[in-house]
Chains A and B, each alone.
Chain A
Amino acid sequence: MLNDYTNAIGGGLLIGLASLFLFLSIGRIAGISGILWRSLSVKSGQESERLWSIVFVVGVCFGGWFLHVIADIPVPELVTENRWQIALSGLLVGFGTRLGNGCTSGHGVCGIGRLSLRSVVATSVFMLTAVLTVILMRHFLS
């Protein structure tokens, strides 16, 4: 239980440091939804943008695996879900993060970190909506 807190703090510090270092070194905001989108979009003239985005996304995937290799932390248990619910969730997350220009990292960690009011509003809205969705799903619809 105590480990949950120390891991959360340690993980948060790593996320914050990675975001800050990306900004200080190459001047970019570590917003995952935006970087993921740019890694796949094929606008011409932005090849170098695309390249670092791809490499960053690969790093996020590799880092997630690597942590479990070097630290004594088990891979999260697989709890399956209705396929349609997963697909609907994915669609909403993808659509919403593009329309709102950011997700937990871009708005939550970097945007609030830059004291952007826009990001404070976005983060409050998605946190509140997510909380209400879980309450609805777990306590009223099940």
Chain B
Amino acid sequence: MKIVIALFCGIIFGMGLALSGMTDRMKVLNFLDVLGAWDISLMFVMGSALLVTIPGFYLSRRKAAPLFSDRFSEPTGSVIDFKLVLGATCFGLGWGLYGLCPGPAISSLSYGRLDSLLFLVTMLGGMTLENLLSHRAGDNN
């Protein structure tokens, strides 16, 4: 059941990314370019997603457990530290350089382009690098 649900949610999520324009990296760069070609339409993507998730997550707190699993696994960390800010800064830099964030990077693979593959491979490389460094630092995340 878990597998079927994960597949279903993944497909809907991917369709949402493609429909919204998030897989169009030039559109994303135009959205981020507030001093130039500013295309504000992408603001409505996160906006309308939050319109669903904010009340949805709020109401889900009334339930003791999810439908097909024994517990909700929510992130418990609440510390705002240097690691969080440095990570978000690196991510923002990378996002602004090419216009793809992880979700659209996966969806874009389906367009069969070498550029998307290069992006995904180097992104996985960056993830591996972070994992190696944080393990070396004795941090077992």
Measuring CB to CB, which residues of chain A are less than 8 angstroms from any residue of chain B?
4-5, 7-30, 32-33, 36-37, 40-41, 48, 51-53, 55-68, 71, 73, 75-81, 83, 85-101, 103-105, 107-118, 121-123, 125-135, 137-139
Residue on A nearest B24 in the bound complex, by CB: A76
Residue on A nearest B47 in the bound complex, by CB: A12
Measuring CB to CB, which residues of chain B are less than 8 angstroms from any residue of chain A?
2-3, 5-27, 29, 32-36, 39, 41-54, 56-58, 60, 63, 65-69, 71-75, 77-80, 83-98, 100-111, 113, 115, 118-131, 134, 141
Distance between Cα atoms of A20 and B121 in the complex (Å): 29
User: Could you tell me if B106 and A95 are in contact, using CB atoms closer than 8 angstroms?
Assistant: no
User: Could you tell me if A24 and B66 are in contact, using CB atoms closer than 8 angstroms?
Assistant: yes
Q: Which of A56, A77, A88, A100 contacts B88 (CB under 8 A)?
A: A100
Distance between Cα atoms of A1 and B115 in the complex (Å): 27
Residue on A nearest B27 in the bound complex, by CB: A76
B16 CB to nearest A CB, Å: 3
User: Could you tell me if B119 and A90 are in contact, using CB atoms closer than 8 angstroms?
Assistant: yes
Residue on A nearest B34 in the bound complex, by CB: A131
